Amino acid sequence: MLETGMKAPNFSLPDKDGNIISLSDFKGKKVVLYFYPKDNTPGCSRQAQAFAAEYEKLSSLGAVIIGISKDSQASHQKFAEKYSLPFILLSDPELSAIKAYGVWQEKKLYGKVSMGVVRTTFIIDEDSNIEKIMNKVKPDTNASDVLAYLMG
């Protein structure tokens, strides 16, 4: 179980264009790492659009935004184009980062139990330590909550 103050697990995953992106690439920067269930679903689309809307403000505070789901690169590409997403989307079909961050959990939907990604946001400091964990975030307010936190 990850906790604030712990070293954030490093990962190396492909982005929508096939470039391998690692957490360690952003040492010296603040990283907003958000895990979400699925491209092009209503909640995930609203969450991504909210991050896109706050992108300039978050960037001006020195934050890098990275979204991770188990969707394919092709899915991410369509998702990013459809909503003009200016930030990094990483594909984790093997669930390596998803499991390393402990967000692959049992979920209940309409009484049915299944495993899936629980919407969670990690704020990682310039030294790659976990500064804040936001559990079970709301798609519509996640980006503004992150912005409010970073603005202090």
Give the C-alpha separation, 79 to 68, whole Å: 12
Active site residue 25: no
Identify the DSSP state of 9.
P
Q: Which amino acid is at 101?
A: Y
44: closest CA among 139, 128, 115?
139
Sign of CA dihedral 4, 119, 64, 71: positive
Catalytic residue among 33, 44, 63, 143: 44
CA distances from 26 to 7, 31, 49, 65, 118 (A): 14, 7, 23, 11, 24
- Catalytic residue IDs: 44
